[in-house]
Amino acid sequence: NAGVMQNPRHLVRRRGQEARLRCSPMKGHSHVYWYRQLPEEGLKFMVYLQKENIIDESGMPKERFSAEFPKEGPSILRIQQVVRGDSAAYFCASSPVGYSNQPQHFGDGTRLSIL
Amino acid sequence: DAKTTQPPSMDCAEGRAANLPCNHSTISGNEYVYWYRQIHSQGPQYIIHGLKNNETNEMASLIITEDRKSSTLILPHATLRDTAVYYCIVGADTGGFKTIFGAGTRLFVKA
């Protein structure tokens, strides 16, 4: 999983606080994807972004969750007013622009724990 | 919902070939077959992908049937470190797509 960097690796928050998860894609990649994995479950797509644009957010909860991928800097997944059910592993993936059929490459995730 | 069907689990003896099947009977003409694996709680690792021809790389081989309705991932000499959940995914040739993960196959490689 070298190349896609996620931080922090572990994040602990109390209910009601905000969580910010960061993802730096592989060099040359301008597509970013966020997935959530609940304990003992599979990965669920959340959102797909290109630089400064959200392309598909069909898997993102309508409230409290937002994502951005600014022109400069990493992509950010933001969870406001966290609840216990937000405890999960959040994975980011990236792929290059302009190349169809290229696979996504994943980071090692951020483990979010809500107290 | 995932567009693929995989057996929930498989066993393989260390050093032997592991053959992991995947059914994707509703695959469209422009959709590729991708394989990933997830070892313990790490991020998914890309293994291989193909459209209609068989593919081979340093990790594995991918055999796709002529009608493209199923495929097999082959790990030629499985090791204990290959124990993981293996995901078969289909995706369109559109320069970027959301990956729909199914439950995958949990492969146990035994000594």
10 Å CB burial of residue B47 (0-12, 13-18, 19+) is: buried
Question: Are B103 and A42 in contact (CB < 8 Å)?
Answer: yes
**What is the Cα–Cα distance from A40 to A44, expressed in whole angstroms?**
12
Distance of CA A99 to the CA centre of its chain: 22
Pick from B6, B14, B22: nearest CA to B76: B14
Q: Which residue bears the tokens 């909860």?
A: A61
User: SS3 sequence, B57-79?
Assistant: CCCCEEEECCCCCEEEEEECCCC
State the average pLDDT over residues B53-82. 96
10 Å CB burial of residue B95 (0-12, 13-18, 19+) is: middle
Between chain A and chain B, the number of residue pairs with CB atoms below 8 A apart is 70
Question: Are A100 and B94 in contact (CB < 8 Å)?
Answer: yes
Chain B positions touching A55 (Cβ under 8 A) are 96
* pLDDT tens per residue across all 115 residues of chain A: 459 999 999 999 999 999 999 999 998 888 999 999 998 888 899 999 998 899 889 999 999 999 999 999 999 999 999 999 999 999 999 988 655 577 889 999 999 999 9
Q: What tokens were used for B89?
A: 């995914």
Question: Measured between CB atoms, does A97 come within 8 Å of chain B?
Answer: yes
Q: What is the pLDDT of residues B87-109, one digit of tens each?
A: 999 887 544 567 778 889 999 99
